């Protein structure tokens, strides 16, 4: 990888240097130091979801690509490539039991690629072959105590695995809910969920956080136990200090103002992290920044505005790739998320505050757009070049022949785990 990155970069460095200098001059006229912004870009990181490295598919079909990862070790190899090319994805988020394997071996493989582990994800939305109780009618909120206990135990096991890997957070997303009015007692179902979450919280190590991830619908199509940020906030507040809310960008009703939700959760001290992706209709899990880049920018605008040592968030991607090479999609997404962060860092906040104070709506909004319209590509490219990553990650990855190489050793029929949501 190192050699191909170097040779591909050598072909592009002269153009980049000119572009970077020109942008530096332009930003200088705005009183912005390009080197400081580049340093921020270098400090950026977003975690890759292990389950995103395989082709996802829909409930209708899955069309596997060449060289699909067969297991967590192959997935970590793919994550290593993504990080080598972009220098923007230093961590991987695991999903259990999809990624169950010897933790010592997983850790060694991750270290080989210079990767760490972000939040662990539990899975009580599917039945596993060896499982005593089915989750068909729910898990943490099930009417049956033994089923709830099984789901609680699974979450505790995820924490234990995570501890051996150096993770320090657990994300809980459940599919529990109802498909018909009257199917469940909504209040009692939520009470049962809270009791289960309290049992998991009681097992949470002191230095860990637990994230409640809400989602408006699917797989339950009438009502969902943790359906929106209001319920998620209630959960985090009732559980305690180390419980926070996770915002998956695809889990809201169409047109919901997600950046305002972000602002409110920050205000409540309960924002824990993100699952980045993009969508046109629902939980489409499309590549970040491909449908609504301005919304992504506005989310980052809130985050940059609220930056403080106390706001330590888990930034993760959660996507499903159906028609692209997952490695390419994940690289593009990581870069788009980084781009939104860098653009949000260009907002002239004192100028904006002035327009807001004067109720100058037009100029306030123009101030945001000015940052959003700035083409920060040379900053991202230079940040990558300086740390030994690729100026052009996708073309460099293609030049490396990685997919064709792993295609030789990974059979096409392999199941990649996940990809159902």
Binding region for ligand LRH (CB under 6 A): 51, 121, 173, 213, 215, 248, 275, 283, 318, 418, 421
Under 8 Å between Cβ of 20 and 382: yes
The conformation of residue 53, written as its DSSP 8-state character, comes to: G
Half-sphere exposure of 80 (CA within 13 A, CB side): 19
Q: Which residues bind Mn ion (CB under 5 A)?
A: 248, 275, 283, 318, 421
Under 8 Å between Cβ of 68 and 54: yes
Q: CB 265 → Mn ion: shortest distance, Å?
A: 16
Q: Which residue's CB is nearer to Mn ion, number 393 or number 417?
A: 417
Task: Please calculate the CA angle 281-287-289 and round it to the nearest 5 degrees.
Answer: 85
418 contact, one of Mn ion, ligand LRH, none, CB 5-8 Å limit per kind: ligand LRH
Q: Which residue's CB is nearer to Mn ion, number 211 or number 297?
A: 211
Q: CB 226 → ligand LRH: shortest distance, Å?
A: 11
Tally of residues, the chain: 421
52 contact, one of Mn ion, ligand LRH, none, CB 5-8 Å limit per kind: none
Q: CB 256 → ligand LRH: shortest distance, Å?
A: 16
Q: CB 251 → ligand LRH: shortest distance, Å?
A: 7
Q: CB 289 → Mn ion: shortest distance, Å?
A: 17
Largest CA distance in the chain: 66
Residue the block writes with tokens 């505005």? 305
Report helix, strand or coil for 107: helix
Question: Which contiguous run of DSSP H or E holds residue 93?
Answer: strand 91-93
The conformation of residue 185, written as its DSSP 8-state character, comes to: -
- For ligand LRH, the nearest residue by Cβ is 421
176 contact, one of ligand LRH, Mn ion, none, CB 5-8 Å limit per kind: none
Q: CB 51 → Mn ion: shortest distance, Å?
A: 10
Q: Which residue's CB is nearer to ligand LRH, number 124 or number 263?
A: 124
Q: Nearest CA to 311 among 261, 338, 272, 262?
A: 272
Question: By CB neighbour count within 10 A (0-12 exposed, 13-18 middle, 19+ buried), where does 379 fall?
Answer: buried
Q: Which residue's CB is nearer to ligand LRH, number 175 or number 393?
A: 175
Q: Give all strands (DSSP E) within 163-251, no chain letters.
A: 169-172, 177-178, 209-213, 223-224, 243-248
8 contact, one of ligand LRH, Mn ion, none, CB 5-8 Å limit per kind: none
Spatial separation of the C-alpha atoms in residues 418 and 135, rounded to whole Å: 17
Q: CB 283 → Mn ion: shortest distance, Å?
A: 4
Q: Which residue's CB is nearer to Mn ion, number 317 or number 390?
A: 317
Q: Which residue's CB is nearer to ligand LRH, number 45 or number 418?
A: 418
Q: Which residue's CB is nearer to ligand LRH, number 51 or number 135?
A: 51
């Amino acid at each position: 990888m190192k050699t191909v990155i170097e040779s591909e970069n050598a072909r592009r460095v002269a153009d980049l240097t000119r572009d970077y200098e020109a942008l530096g001059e332009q930003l200088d006229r705005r009183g912005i130091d390009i080197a400081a912004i580049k340093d921020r870009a270098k400090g950026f990181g977003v975690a890759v979801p292990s389950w995103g490295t395989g082709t996802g598919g829909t409930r209708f079909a899955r069309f596997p690509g060449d060289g699909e990862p067969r297991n967590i070790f192959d997935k970590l190899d793919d994550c290593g490539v993504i990080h080598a090319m972009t220098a923007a994805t230093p961590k991987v988020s695991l999903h259990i039991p999809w990624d169950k394997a010897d933790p010592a071996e997983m850790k060694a493989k991750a270290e080989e690629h210079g990767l760490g582990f972000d939040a662990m994800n539990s899975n009580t939305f599917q039945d596993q072959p060896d499982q005593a109780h089915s989750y068909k009618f729910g898990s943490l909120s099930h009417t049956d105590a033994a089923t709830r206990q099984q789901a609680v135990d699974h979450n505790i096991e995820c924490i234990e695995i995570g501890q051996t890997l150096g993770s320090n957070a657990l994300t809980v997303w459940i599919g529990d809910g109802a498909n018909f009015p009257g199917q469940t007692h909504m209040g009692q179902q939520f009470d049962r969920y809270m009791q289960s979450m309290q049992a998991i919280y009681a097992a949470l190590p002191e230095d860990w956080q637990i994230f409640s991830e809400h989602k408006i619908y699917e797989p339950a199509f009438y009502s969902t136990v943790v359906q929106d940020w209001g319920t998620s906030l209630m959960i985090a507040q009732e559980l305690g200090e180390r419980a926070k809310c996770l915002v998956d960008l695809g889990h809201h009703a169409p047109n919901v103002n997600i950046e305002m939700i972000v602002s409110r959760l920050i205000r409540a001290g309960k924002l824990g992290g993100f699952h980045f992706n993009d969508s046109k209709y629902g939980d489409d899990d499309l590549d970040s920044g491909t449908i609504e880049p301005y919304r992504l920018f506005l989310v980052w605008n809130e985050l940059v505005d609220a930056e403080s040592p106390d706001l330590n968030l888990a930034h993760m991607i959660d996507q499903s790739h159906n028609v692209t090479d997952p490695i390419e999609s994940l690289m593009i997404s990581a870069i788009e998320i980084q781009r939104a962060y860098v653009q949000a860092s260009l907002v002239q906040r004192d100028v904006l505050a002035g327009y807001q104070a004067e109720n100058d709506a037009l100029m306030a909004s123009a101030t945001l757009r000015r940052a959003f319209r700035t083409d920060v590509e040379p900053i991202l490219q230079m940040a990558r070049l300086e740390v030994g990553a690729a100026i052009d990650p996708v073309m460099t990855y293609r030049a490396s022949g990685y997919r064709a190489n792993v295609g030789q050793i990974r059979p096409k029929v392999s199941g990649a785990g996940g990809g159902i949501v």
